[in-house]
Amino acid sequence: MQDQENQEVSNQPEADAAAAAAAAAAQGAPATEPGLEEQLSATEAKLAEMHDAFMRAKAEADNIRRRAQEDVSKAHKFAIESFAEAMVPVRDSLEMALKVEAPTVESIKEGVEMTLKQLTAAFEKNRLVEVMPQPGDKLDPNKHQAVAVVPSEQEANTVVAVLQKGYMIADRLLRPAIVTAAAPK
């Protein structure tokens, strides 16, 4: 019997809390424990802070993406600017040569040589390199284009003659050298 009384006493606070919650629910007021409202408001404040940080980070990412797109666009648009700056003096020289009233063969040759030097300097400045194989060099399909195979005393698949030199920009082939190659014996 003593045990039943102990159980009734130990259940008493739980029963009182349940009765209070039922009474509060009947009156339409939510049953809250002390401190829950503070936790809720703290959590809502933290949520607002996190949302603000997220929105700022998203805006920053959008700005970085937009700036990167603008930079790429400008790079494409003005990529040739350096080469164009180097080519303007070449054009100027050619136009001046056409304005000469009574050109001599010597003055024309001198003007062409000077213009070729300007053009060569412009190519070097912009890493435009000639591909000029020598007769006897091994045929390189990455840099040479054989348009004919001719009988020759040379080893097979070697360059016999260069019909047109090729060009590379840095490490990229712009135009292959046009060559004739030695036929197998």
CATH number at residue 152: 2.30.22.10
**Within-domain flag for 82:** no
| Total of domains in the chain | 1
**Within-domain flag for 177:** yes
Q: Which of 77-81, 133-137, 161-165 has the lowest mean pLDDT?
A: 77-81
- For the chain, what is the mean pLDDT? 85
- Structural domain including 166 reads 129-185
- Asked if residue 144 lies in contact with residue 133, where contact means CB atoms within 8 angstroms, the answer is yes
Q: Inform me whether the pLDDT recorded for 76 exceeds 90.
A: no
Q: Which of 25-29, 38-42, 62-66, 169-173 has the lowest mean pLDDT?
A: 25-29
Question: Could you tell me the pLDDT band of residue 6, with boundaries at 50, 70 and 90?
Answer: very low
**Within-domain flag for 31:** no
**Within-domain flag for 161:** yes
What's the pLDDT score for residue 19?
52
Q: Inform me whether the pLDDT recorded for 118 exceeds 80.
A: yes
Q: Inform me whether the pLDDT recorded for 10 exceeds 50.
A: no
**Within-domain flag for 110:** no
Question: Could you tell me the pLDDT band of residue 77, with boundaries at 50, 70 and 90?
Answer: confident
Q: Dihedral sign, CA of 30, 33, 36, 38?
A: positive
**Within-domain flag for 138:** yes
- Percent of the chain beyond pLDDT 90? 59
The pTM for the full model equals 0.58
Tell me whether strands 159-164 and 144-150 are parallel, antiparallel or unpaired: unpaired
Q: Which of 60-64, 94-98, 134-138 has the lowest mean pLDDT?
A: 94-98
**Within-domain flag for 114:** no
Q: Inform me whether the pLDDT recorded for 5 exceeds 70.
A: no
Task: Please tell me which residue, 95 or 26, carries the higher pLDDT value.
Answer: 95
**Within-domain flag for 91:** no
